[in-house]
């Protein structure tokens, strides 16, 4: 009996040991397979309201009357309904609904990798099946990292006002969102196929790289774009592996100086560069230097610190801009020069090449937003050439007058996603004016990139009598085709920058028809160059623009001389003695006259 107990004890110990030694079962997510439903961008059960631009098929598992605003012109595929009545004449095949239900069952049956959330902001996930409860994406970014299938399952409603970032091979066509009830998608963009129990509702201007498939309820649109989902790996942010550093020179001759850009050779980590040209560089710390002059001060602004250093990022980060300003320190001039102001706006046509490489036409619009004409106007682009002047110099005097708008174009062929940068420069009264414009064109993906433009005008441009208050007016516009969220504006030498007006529909998005106005006031004591940066987001991408302005400040006027100048420590007896004698004689004369009277 004891032997049997020992044997049982040994077997139990072995069993426990084996149980501990065997790793826990993990579940790899698999594609649920949509079958006949795979070609559909939208499937609804009770109706489809609102409008948008839809790349695939659209199906309403009810009558055509339930599709209230969408037309065939809005849809790249076919519009289906159960009765084949306009706006679509095709009848929805029962297999579409059956395949969608089967796919939903497959999503439910897959083993869970783990439970996360419900807040998804800031998380980075690898492939797997994630239960997210009452999932929320509250304006932040969810990163999906690595190639494979991603399934995120919400046990109730799901609400997003954030965005999805795909890295290291993650693809939009491999992302699935199973929502037990209602999916509400706000923000600027979203990625993945949404399978929702009671409907999918979109906020204004949201772009979905995926599908909106409702097992019940409706799909509501509000000027949305639904495309894909794409199975291409997202391209880098520029046509090269890394982003650019652009160094810009500013020269101010407000004290009689005559220097130009050529008098201040520029260097980036010891290598000679030219103002306005961009350098494609890997991540790292870079230093901008120059051959200076003892008659000019030098200062840095933009993305570099006061030592000229730039902490430059790599793939997926913003391009870096460094502004180097040289100001003459000679004797003050009698008449202070009025500084010029220049603006350049760049718009590519098209903004997106979804099917791969193609031609792009860049249009550059250059304006004089100051008060004095400019000479020696030039445009320097990083990749596209030649940049050709088309029109604008109405009096053919080669001066950009305050009433003129000069238009340039440049045609190029893009083979991959690229951000093009151009720098406009003009001169007046010995002072340079510079502006920057950049625009991204997406190649190989149906994602529309954002554009943003900012202008900055100081009032006054000149403080003749020394220190004084200056008010900067910044106007931010959207020259693109998609509304911008999370619009931000910052000034390197003036704060706070206050929003004044412009959001006419109060939706917190910079629409293409709107101009947002901001102001900032600052007390200036010396000639000042400052830079304002504006940014906005759409479809998971960020657009940035800069505006650089100069305000000239004169010396504080001195009190007029009284005409009496003496050396320190000496009494001016040559003046005081005769004056004293004259006073005594006058006093004696008055006394004598009184006695005589």
DSSP letter string, 376-409? EEEEEESS----EEEE--TT-SS-B-TT-EEEEE
Asked if 298 and 419 sit in the same domain, the reply is no
Asked if 320 and 378 sit in the same domain, the reply is no
Mean pLDDT for the chain? 86
Closest to 155 in 3D by CA, of 100, 205, 116:
116
Asked if 77 and 172 sit in the same domain, the reply is yes
In a domain? residue 235: no
pLDDT at 20 over 70: no
Domain boundary among 411, 446, 481: 446
Predicted pLDDT of residue 302: 85
In a domain? residue 382: yes
In a domain? residue 11: no
Higher pLDDT, 590 or 273: 273
Asked if 355 and 296 sit in the same domain, the reply is no
Higher pLDDT, 427 or 19: 427
Show the domain range for 281: 249-331
Asked if 212 and 259 sit in the same domain, the reply is no
pLDDT at 238 over 90: no
Predicted pLDDT of residue 381: 83
Task: Please report which helix (H) or strand (E) contains residue 154, including its range.
Answer: strand 150-154
What's the structural domain count of the chain? Answer: 4
How confident is the model over 153-179, as pLDDT tens digits?
999 999 999 999 888 778 888 999 999
Asked if 380 and 504 sit in the same domain, the reply is no
pLDDT at 13 over 60: no
Asked if 387 and 509 sit in the same domain, the reply is no
In a domain? residue 141: yes
Closest to 268 in 3D by CA, of 247, 296, 244:
247
Domain boundary among 446, 461, 486: 446
How confident is the model over 405-421, as pLDDT tens digits?
999 999 999 988 888 89
In a domain? residue 590: no
In a domain? residue 130: yes
Asked if 290 and 393 sit in the same domain, the reply is no
Asked if 65 and 79 sit in the same domain, the reply is yes
Domain boundary among 306, 331, 356: 331
pLDDT at 570 over 50: no
In a domain? residue 280: yes
How many CA atoms lie within 13 Å of 459's alpha carbon, on the beta-carbon side? 6
Asked if 294 and 321 sit in the same domain, the reply is yes
Q: Return the CATH number at 477.
A: 2.60.40.1530
Return the exposure string of 175-205: e unless at least 16 CB atoms fall within 10 Å of the residue's CB, then b.
Answer: bbbbbbbbbbbbbbbbbbbbbbbbbbbbbbb
How confident is the model over 288-335, as pLDDT tens digits?
999 999 999 999 988 889 999 998 875 445 688 899 999 998 777 678
CA-CA distances (angstroms) from residue 376 to 174, 249, 260, 397, 428? 53, 15, 11, 11, 9
Asked if 304 and 376 sit in the same domain, the reply is no
Task: Please report which helix (H) or strand (E) contains residue 456, including its range.
Answer: strand 453-459
Asked if 461 and 475 sit in the same domain, the reply is yes
- Is the pTM of the predicted complex or chain greater than 0.95? no
How confident is the model over 334-352, as pLDDT tens digits?
789 999 999 999 999 999 9
Among 53-57, 302-306, 314-318, 437-441, the minimum mean pLDDT is found in 314-318
pLDDT at 524 over 90: yes
Predicted pLDDT of residue 129: 96
Dihedral, 266, 272, 277, 280 alpha carbons, nearest 10: -120
In a domain? residue 26: no
């Amino acid at each position: 009996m004891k032997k049997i107990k020992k044997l049982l004890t040994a077997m139990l110990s072995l069993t426990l040991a084996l149980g501990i030694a065997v790793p826990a079962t993990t579940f790899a997510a698999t594609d649920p397979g949509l079958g006949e439903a795979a070609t559909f961008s939208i499937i609804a059960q009770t109706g489809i309201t609102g409008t948008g631009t839809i790349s695939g098929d659209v199906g309403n598992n009810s009558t055509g009357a339930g599709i209230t605003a969408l037309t065939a012109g809005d849809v790249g595929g076919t519009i289906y309904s159960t009765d084949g009545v306009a706006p679509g004449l095709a009848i929805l095949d029962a297999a579409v609904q059956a395949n969608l239900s089967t796919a939903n069952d497959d999503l439910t049956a897959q083993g869970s990798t783990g439970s996360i959330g419900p807040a998804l902001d800031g998380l980075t996930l690898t492939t797997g099946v994630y239960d997210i409860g009452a999932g929320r994406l509250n304006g932040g970014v969810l990163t999906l990292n690595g190639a494979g299938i991603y399934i995120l399952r919400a046990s109730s409603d799901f609400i997003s006002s954030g965005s999805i970032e795909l890295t290291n091979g993650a693809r939009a066509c491999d992302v699935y969102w199973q929502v037990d009830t209602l999916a509400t998608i706000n923000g600027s963009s979203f990625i993945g196929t949404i399978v929702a129990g009671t409907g999918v509702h979109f906020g204004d201007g949201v772009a979905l790289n995926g599908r909106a498939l409702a097992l019940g309820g409706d799909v509501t649109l509000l000027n949305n774009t639904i495309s894909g989902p794409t199975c291409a790996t997202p391209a880098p942010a520029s046509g090269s592996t890394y982003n650019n550093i652009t160094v810009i020179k500013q020269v101010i001759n407000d004290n009689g100086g005559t220097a130009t850009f050529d008098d201040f050779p520029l260097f980036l980590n010891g290598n000679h560069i030219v103002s306005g040209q961009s350098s494609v560089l890997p991540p790292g710390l870079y230093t901008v230097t120059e051959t200076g002059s003892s008659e000019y001060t030098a200062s840095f602004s933009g993305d570099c610190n006061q030592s000229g250093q730039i902490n430059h990022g790599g793939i997926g980060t913003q391009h870096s801009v460094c502004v180097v300003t040289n100001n003459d320190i000679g004797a003050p001039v009698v008449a202070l020069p009025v500084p010029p102001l220049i603006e350049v706006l760049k718009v590519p046509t098209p903004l997106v090449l979804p099917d791969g490489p193609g031609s792009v036409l860049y249009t550059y619009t250059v304006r004089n937003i100051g008060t004095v004409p400019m000479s020696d106007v030039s445009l320097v682009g990083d990749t596209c050439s030649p940049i050709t002047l088309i029109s604008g110099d109405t009096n053919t005097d080669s001066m950009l007058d305050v009433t003129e708008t000069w238009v340039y174009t440049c045609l190029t062929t893009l083979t991959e996603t690229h951000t093009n940068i151009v720098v406009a420069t003009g001169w007046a009264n010995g002072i340079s004016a510079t502006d920057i414009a950049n625009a991204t064109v997406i190649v190989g993906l149906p994602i529309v990139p954002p554009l943003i433009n900012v202008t900055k005008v100081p009032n006054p441009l000149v403080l003749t009598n020394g220190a004084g208050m200056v008010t900067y007016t910044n106007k931010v516009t959207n020259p693109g085709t998609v509304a911008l969220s999370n619009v931000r504006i910052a000034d390197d030498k003036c704060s706070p920058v206050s929003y004044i007006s412009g959001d006419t529909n109060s939706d917190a998005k910079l629409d293409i028809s709107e101009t947002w106005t901001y102001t900032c006031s600052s007390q200036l004591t010396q000639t000042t160059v400052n830079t304002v940066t504006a940014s906005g987001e759409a479809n998971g991408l960020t657009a940035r623009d800069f505006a650089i302005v100069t305000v000239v400040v004169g010396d504080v006027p001195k009190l007029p001389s009284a005409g009496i100048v003496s050396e320190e420590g000496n009494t001016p007896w040559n003046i005081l003695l005769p004056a004293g004698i004259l006073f005594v004689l006058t006093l004696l004369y008055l006394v004598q006259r009184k006695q005589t009277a």
